[in-house]
A and B are shown apart, each in its own frame.
Chain A
Amino acid sequence: MRCLRRRSITVFLFSVVFLTAVVMLIIRDTESSYAVEDILKLGKKVYEQRCLICHGKDGDGKGLVGVLRRTELSGRTIETLPRDFTIGVFRFRSTPTGCLPTDEDLLKIIDHGIKRSFMPSHKKELTLEEKKAVISYIKTFSERWEEEEPCDPIPVKKPPWVGSPSSIEKGKRVYKDMKCWECHGYEGRGDGPKAEKLKDDWGKRIWPFDFTTGELKRGTSPENIYITFTTGLDGTGMPSYEDSLSEEDRWHLVSYTLKLMGMVGKKKE
């Protein structure tokens, strides 16, 4: 009698454990199985609400807004086109040149926008899921995302001496030797001899950055400048100097750039 009750208890316990396990399994299964198209749907919705106007229905950058113009302090007017996602070439990556950006890169852009290019910040407008979703939706525009894997981000470690006068001097020499002035001009005003006939991969006229006019599109911090030198801006005339310059030289160049932008070495008034 007593033993019978004991058995029934064990059976009961066992069955409970089993059932819960099954349920758990089922639940997990369903979750994983529904995810993808849901996410894509969400991404599409967000995309059509926020991105479509500029980046176009099928992500080819041919939105209704079209070309965006901006007159800089020096009086030159530059034109910006919304990014074309179909080719899958991205400028602002943390990954080596030719690579795809990591999701973090894209997230960063969505969060902070792109300075001086009217790509607004969506930090507050969107929830994290929506951002993730829209990223994955964007990935559907180009095959590259199936074929390739994003490479690993390039490590950035800022040496203490960046911005020091000596470093600025060295950077100046680098600036001269690497012919940066051919596009960016002798005083970094973006008016170099080659600046006139610069085209990007889409065949659109582009303008070298004028260091005196304001912040970098990627955001002005020594790290960002360094990344730009290292990864280059794919699709533009700005190559990667990862191979042609030692890391130290790149940092020197950073200091000189900061100098050009008037962020270091300025006399206190």
Chain B
Amino acid sequence: MYSRFYLSVLLISGLVLITFLVFATYRELNPEWKKYQLEYRDLLIKNAPNEAARKKARSIKIEHQQIYIKPLKKVDRCMNCHRGVDDPLMKDAKVPHKLHSGDYLKKHPVSKFGCTLCHYGQGRATNKKDAHGKGRDTHWDYPLIPFKYIQSSCAKCHDYLFLKDNGGEMVVEGERLFREKGCRGCHKLNGVGGDLGKPLDIIGSQPIAYFPMKYVVGERNTYNWLKQHFLDPRKIVPGSEMRVFLSEKEADLLTTYTLTLRAEEMPRQFRAIRYTTPVPKDGESLYKMYCVACHGNGKISAYDEILKRTIPAIMNPAFLKIADDKNLERIIKEGRKGTPMTSWKRTAAGLRDEEIRNIIKFITKDRPDERPEPFDYKRFVTDTKHGKELFNVRCALCHGKDGKGGKDHLGLNLRNPAVQKFVDPEFLAMTIRDGRKGTPMPAFGKTGVGLSDQDIADLVAYIRSFSDKGKK
């Protein structure tokens, strides 16, 4: 019944099936890489020196060229296409058959290191697009690394002292920049550093999805993101508070260095650490490492459009004159809550006490000798109301009517609990009286605007009363 119908269905679908089996087989038998290997064989035959070599070349098998690196559990099939990469005969062949440039392979035989260890890309893939990992649809997080950043791979096994004079200068330079641009003022590395920014320990090996690629120009990969972000943070991440102003060159250096901060740990037999790099401990380097990003040279105080606040000039003599080491140490250790200044003590941002002491020594290196004449706040009976009136006419201009300072105000936030907690009235009074030479803070004492000590005491009392309000 209906046999003719079913028989014809059977016949047709059978034929279709066979056709597709044939197609599939054909596709499997002629992958992309086979073409290259055939080219390679022809090249070998062409520039074989003698008959024996030619015979040998004719007999080479066209098959998967897989490098399996057991300790790394790594599989590289790049040589499916780049089969001539370690073949001296291929010196002046053209890509992909070309011999590897330089003499790296002499020290790093492909059989032991493979390719993707340094160049990245997808080692398991056997077609160009996937192997090079270009494009979003390859779904590969570590595409082929641009040549200008390749040195970052050397740092996987080699130490800086070795790299410095063995072709790893970019990493070393980058590391220096990293130290001197004060990146760690906001970013933690090995658990030490501020916490405004993200920790950088494995930034180099983060998957692409980790980075907001929206505004990246060109290929969307980690390399471009890092560089363009270094050049203009606010272009890549709108509203970013990162204070970094670099030249093209510096951006490349830093990118190279950042790419060396990776999660994976190389097994011992691969590492060639001979010396350990000495980490400078002196005040100046520490200051550069942690403070310079915001405080700059510490001499001038300027309103900062990025952080939307005035950054105090911590090396300004007038300031150092009244701020003694105890004060400074307390500020550095406790930080200023509600400001970018984080607490730097061991348990927070991870600075050791002697490091902090070194930094203070550096900051206070040109502190004037003569001590300020004491104000002796205690002796006054203060009148907060009068202080409030004074405040509104004198201080409100810069510190804001409510003393909060903030956007487009020169003065700092007097209501900040940290200020209220750690700045003693004596200090306040002296500041108001003598002002801060070299900063907009004028001297309100007799020498300047002509406030009597009583007025100043009242002002201080009023400012101190903020915290009581806070409590209530």
Whether A50 pairs with B393 at a CB distance below 8 angstroms is yes
Known contacts A53-B397, A68-B410, A77 near B245 by CB under 8 Å: no
Tell me the complex Cα distance, A72–B306, Å.
7
Whether A64 pairs with B304 at a CB distance below 8 angstroms is no
Which of B245, B305, B443, B448 gathers the greatest number of chain A CB atoms within 10 Å?
B305
Indicate which residue in B214, B234, B409, B442 contacts A64 across the interface (CB closer than 8 Å): B442
Interface size on B, residues (CB 8 A): 26
Tell me the complex Cα distance, A168–B441, Å.
44
A46-94 contacts to B, CB under 8 A, are 49-50, 52-54, 63-75, 77
Whether A71 pairs with B302 at a CB distance below 8 angstroms is yes
Tell me the complex Cα distance, A69–B398, Å.
13
In the complex, whether B123 has a CB less than 8 A from a CB of chain A is: no
Shortest CB–CB separation between residue A127 and chain B, in angstroms? 15
Q: Which residue of A lies closest to B397 (CB)?
A: A120
Whether B440 pairs with A66 at a CB distance below 8 angstroms is yes
Q: Which residues of B contact A73 (CB under 8 A)?
A: 234, 305-306
Q: Which residues of A contact B243 (CB under 8 A)?
A: 75
B20-49 contacts to A, CB under 8 A, are none
Q: Which residues of A contact B301 (CB under 8 A)?
A: 69
Tell me the complex Cα distance, A214–B410, Å.
17
Whether B303 pairs with A69 at a CB distance below 8 angstroms is yes
Tell me the complex Cα distance, A65–B335, Å.
27
Tell me the complex Cα distance, A75–B247, Å.
12
Q: Which residues of A contact B440 (CB under 8 A)?
A: 65-68, 118
Whether A63 pairs with B303 at a CB distance below 8 angstroms is no
B440-472 contacts to A, CB under 8 A, are 440-443, 448-449
Indicate which residue in A49, A54, A65, A68 contacts B303 across the interface (CB closer than 8 Å): A68
Q: Which residues of A contact B168 (CB under 8 A)?
A: none
Whether B245 pairs with A74 at a CB distance below 8 angstroms is yes
Whether A64 pairs with B408 at a CB distance below 8 angstroms is no
A18-67 contacts to B, CB under 8 A, are 49-50, 52-54, 63-67
Which of B245, B440, B441 gathers the greatest number of chain A CB atoms within 10 Å?
B440
Q: Which residues of B contact A49 (CB under 8 A)?
A: 393
Known contacts A53-B394, A69-B300, A63 near B442 by CB under 8 Å: yes
Whether A50 pairs with B303 at a CB distance below 8 angstroms is no
Q: Which residues of A contact B443 (CB under 8 A)?
A: 64
Indicate which residue in A71, A116, A118, A269 contacts B398 across the interface (CB closer than 8 Å): A118
In the complex, whether A136 has a CB less than 8 A from a CB of chain B is: no
Known contacts A50-B393, A64-B449, A73-B234, A213 near B305 by CB under 8 Å: yes
Q: Which residue of B lies closest to A117 (CB)?
A: B408
Tell me the complex Cα distance, A72–B302, Å.
10
Tell me the complex Cα distance, A269–B243, Å.
26
Shortest CB–CB separation between residue A189 and chain B, in angstroms? 11
In the complex, whether B84 has a CB less than 8 A from a CB of chain A is: no
Whether A53 pairs with B442 at a CB distance below 8 angstroms is yes
Tell me the complex Cα distance, A116–B410, Å.
11
Shortest CB–CB separation between residue B450 and chain A, in angstroms? 10
Interface string of B221-251 (1 = CB under 8 A from A): 0000000000000100000000101000000
Known contacts A71-B306, A73-B306, A77-B300, A65 near B234 by CB under 8 Å: no
B308-333 contacts to A, CB under 8 A, are 311
Top 6 A-B pairs ranked by shortest CB distance? A64-B442, A69-B302, A75-B245, A65-B440, A71-B304, A70-B303
A contact set with B: CB distance below 8 Å: 49-50, 52-54, 63-75, 77, 115-116, 118, 120, 213-214, 269
B contact set with A: CB distance below 8 Å: 214, 234, 243, 245, 300-306, 311, 393-394, 397-398, 408-410, 435, 440-443, 448-449
What would be 26 A-B contacts, judged by CB atoms less than 8 Å apart? A50-B393, A53-B397, A53-B442, A64-B435, A64-B442, A64-B443, A65-B398, A65-B441, A68-B410, A68-B440, A69-B300, A69-B301, A70-B304, A71-B302, A71-B303, A71-B311, A72-B305, A73-B234, A73-B306, A75-B243, A75-B245, A77-B300, A118-B398, A118-B409, A120-B397, A214-B305
